Amino acid sequence: MKPGNGELSEGDRAPDFELPSSSGKPVKLSSMRGKSVVLYFYPQDDTPGCTREACAFRDNLPKFGGLDAVILGVSKDSLASHEKFINKYSLNFTLLSDEDLVAHKLYDTWREKNNYGRTYMGTERSTFVIDGKGKIKKIFRRVKVDGHESEVLAALQA
């Protein structure tokens, strides 16, 4: 982290965390070393934008796997909610439940949002591409869903 602004930068070591996962076992980020990790934060299971984003990652999983990359989706939803989301859309990657906002706070994705004049706290849609050594290779903030999986693939290939 750069001193003063509290925000992560490309080249920083990715903050480690452990969260319950849809695979049934807790996932510790540092246990993924040796592979690239696409760590994406999204606001809520089974909402239009989040569903399009998850399905785009699902549909392109072979391309990510071909680059030796693992996809981890993170939201504050419960594991039960994740299970319904996975089953409804046949998602083929791991979702992490961050109900206590541990990873959200480490990655500064729990932010003040403004919608039609109403201010509230929520997840800022963000993606972090982490290399096999645990360093942040690319950061995408305030992600626009359409075409995002192509941007992430390009970052992995760079």
Annotated catalytic residues are 50
Kind of pairing between the strands at 69-75 and 36-41? parallel
Give strand ranges (E) for 54-124: 69-75, 94-97, 110-115, 118-123
Residue 48's Cβ-side half-sphere holds a number of Cα atoms within 13 Å equal to: 2
